[in-house]
Chain A
Amino acid sequence: MSGGRWFTVVLVAALGVALAFLTLPLVAIFVDVGPGELLSSLDDPGALDALRLSLQTTAMALALIVTVGTPAAWLLATRSFRGRSLAITLVELPLVVPPAVAGIGLLAAVGPSGFLGDALAAAGLELVFQTAGVVVALTFVASPFYIRQAQAAFGALDPSLIEASRTLGAGEARTFARIAVPNALPGLLAGAALAWGRALGEFGATLVFAGSLSGVTQTAPLAIYERFSSDFGAALALSAVLVATSAAILLGVKLATGARVLGSARA
């Protein structure tokens, strides 16, 4: 056997095992749920509410993350300043914090008896057991995914593009809007897709911080968990709907921006 051949076999085998392992549970959901069960699950108003709530809260969280995260990532990518490494570490911290701990932390910070609780109550803002609380929890756990990816995308831009824009009379703000963001768009969209996926699957922080009130804070993962203990079939059916919905959105994003978007994601 030639020197390189066996290694190719190893590579192909590794990819095969990984793909089988990663797709098996998802395929199993659809195998176990009959079409009838899938349709009848759509008659369950609680399940539909949960799905709608998931889409609404993830969209709002994503809007917040992109609005604040894009300029923040630009700063981290383009300036060297004291405390930059610390800032990057702080941004990444939620990645390693268990979601339940994140929920406890949010309660301690902005819950009714948290240290910002009184100030928020005075401003008429209630988060716990409110849809707004879900958005806060999703934003907390998902934003590092976007900011990290956006920082990498800005960092990978050809610096001469930015400099060319400046020598052509554009200030930093115009350069950011007209040159940096459009040229980093594939990376930014990949980051947004990652953050959205993380938000859609969010469970622990939401449960601890916002609770699981049907129609108010019960997102799809929470609804699935609730059905799981009583009615496995319903849990399966809702899971199938969630998988199909997120796959459709992911596919939509890929098609809309050209297949290169997620493929070119730079870690």
Chain B
Amino acid sequence: MLALDIQTTVGALDLDVQVRVGTGECLAVAGPSGAGKTTLLRIAAGLRDSDRGTVECGGEVWLDTSRGVSLAPERRRVGFLFQDYALFGNLSVWRNVAFGMEGVVRGQRRERAVALLDRFGMAARADARPGALSGGERQRVALARALARRPRALLLDEPLSALDSRTRAGATRELAALMGEAEVPALLVTHDFGEAALLADRVAVIDDGRVVQAGTPAELVGSPASAFVADFTGAVVLHGMARRGEGGLTGVDLDGGGRAVSTDTAEGRVAVSVHPWEIEIEPAGAAGSGSARNRLAATVSAVTPLGNRTRVALLAPQPLTAELSQAAADRLGLAAGVPVVAVWKATATRLVAL
């Protein structure tokens, strides 16, 4: 269990956040830039002071300003994944990983580091310098290094933002798998709700220094507490079982009913993500005439204007949202309770194995 209760001012921002992350759980703190996310992580790791607050991990008190307790970062046993990975350019890959190993005799350090690198498919690059690695490889080395210390908590700062979009899908899968096996609380911060929804069990949306809503990704998408949350929880995330379908496409039987089709390949449990602006809304009963392969019957549960756009929350076996122009929403006469069909293309559907 990692528990943070932080009150501090950062420039003009007044940060006041309480979060708890269970063992084996991943909590994503998601919000726009400048919301205080990274500050929260840095306070948890001891890299920054907090005006007031407590940080506790696994029964240990790391910070308690009321009692004047503040452990130095090197005494907190965290695995911190930096946004730019912060690999030591003066050390080879395996020495980067071995840097944090404690209580390992000198002769075994290399062997242990290479074994850990092997879990990430990086054993072959053990003697390379970090400068010679690609972005995705750097991330894997940085993860191996963070785990080498047997941390009591994982802290991840925008873990995917330094990767290009092609590397990102693979890295997301690896990271999700790692979080699944890690037996420590993991706290991740990101500005991308889609990323948070794919990696985390729960998401706390933070705005202007406060948690405005917390819950599972589906809860946040399905019943956003405010227009800010509705706007921020961009991507729709659905869960289901994928299997090879006809024409090289992957079919996904969605939990609770319904079916989605994607051009991505995957098998087994997957998360399906679609951007709300890719989803079109047709009146119930209209004959599908376009090229879109995904059609899901739903009922409008909420209509939230966001400037010239409208966010439409849809009730289906799993909640989803669509984004339309204000004019289109008016023309369709959308209001809570209206039955519709949500339509989107297989090419706009991303699959991530769980």
**A residues at B contact (CB < 8 Å):** 158, 160-161, 163-171, 178-179, 182-183, 185
Contacts and interface: CB of A to CB of B under 8 A. Distances in A.
Given A166-B74, A169-B100, A169-B102, A160 B145 contact: no
A160 B87 CA distance: 9
State the main secondary structure of chain B at its contact with A. loop
Contact of A167 (B47, B84, B88, B89): B47
B90 A167 contact: no
A158 B72 contact: no
A158 B149 CA distance: 22
B139 to A, nearest CB: 14
Interface string B31-51: 000000000001001110000
A169 B104 CA distance: 13
B62 interface: no
B99 A167 contact: no
State the main secondary structure of chain A at its contact with B. helix
Most chain A CB inside 10 Å of its own CB: which residue of B46, B88, B145, B148: B88
B210 to A, nearest CB: 26
28 contacts: A161-B86, A161-B88, A163-B42, A163-B45, A163-B80, A163-B82, A164-B80, A164-B82, A164-B88, A165-B88, A166-B46, A166-B72, A166-B73, A166-B74, A167-B46, A168-B74, A168-B99, A168-B145, A168-B148, A168-B149, A169-B74, A169-B100, A169-B102, A170-B74, A170-B99, A171-B74, A179-B88, A183-B90
B279 interface: no
B63 interface: no
Interface residues of B, number: 26
Given A168-B148, A169-B77, A183-B88, 15 more contacts: A160-B86, A163-B42, A163-B73, A163-B86, A164-B88, A166-B47, A166-B72, A167-B45, A167-B47, A167-B78, A168-B149, A169-B102, A171-B72, A178-B99, A185-B90
A251 B28 CA distance: 53
B92 to A, nearest CB: 12
